């Protein structure tokens, strides 16, 4: 398998590492019996961070991998797919 790195990969890794640390702190919050509303709020923040990392990765792949491998006939379909992925 060849190396597959894009400009956004470093930012995605940083985002995921922050989410990982945040998730560990949420575990501590649960163990400390913190209020459920506080825990839910923090879980929501982690969920959003992970979703944004996923969205960034998918958009990056579409822009830099799939776009290079499509034919002229399928460019319109790819453009439509790119629009749809914004709603992930």
Q: How does pLDDT run across 17-54, given as a tens digit for each residue? A: 999 999 999 999 999 999 999 999 999 999 999 999 99
> How far is CA 73 from its chain centroid?
29
pLDDT of 1: 47
In 10 A of CB 55, how many CB atoms?
Answer: 14
pLDDT of 28: 97
Where is pLDDT greater, at 68 or 82? 82
- Chain mean pLDDT for the chain: 85
What is the reported pTM?
Answer: 0.73
Note whether 12 and 52 are within 8 A (CB): no
pLDDT of 71: 65
The fold for domain 7-87 equals Methane Monooxygenase Hydroxylase; Chain G, domain 1 (1.20.58)
């Amino acid at each position: 398998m060849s190396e597959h790195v894009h400009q956004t990969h470093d930012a995605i890794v940083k985002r995921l590492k922050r989410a990982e640390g945040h998730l560990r702190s949420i575990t501590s919050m649960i163990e400390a019996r913190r209020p459920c509303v506080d825990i839910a709020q923090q879980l929501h923040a982690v969920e959003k961070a992970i979703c944004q990392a996923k969205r960034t990765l998918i958009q990056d792949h579409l822009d830099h991998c799939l776009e290079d491998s499509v034919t002229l006939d399928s460019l319109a379909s790819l453009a439509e797919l790119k629009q749809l992925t914004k709603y992930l």
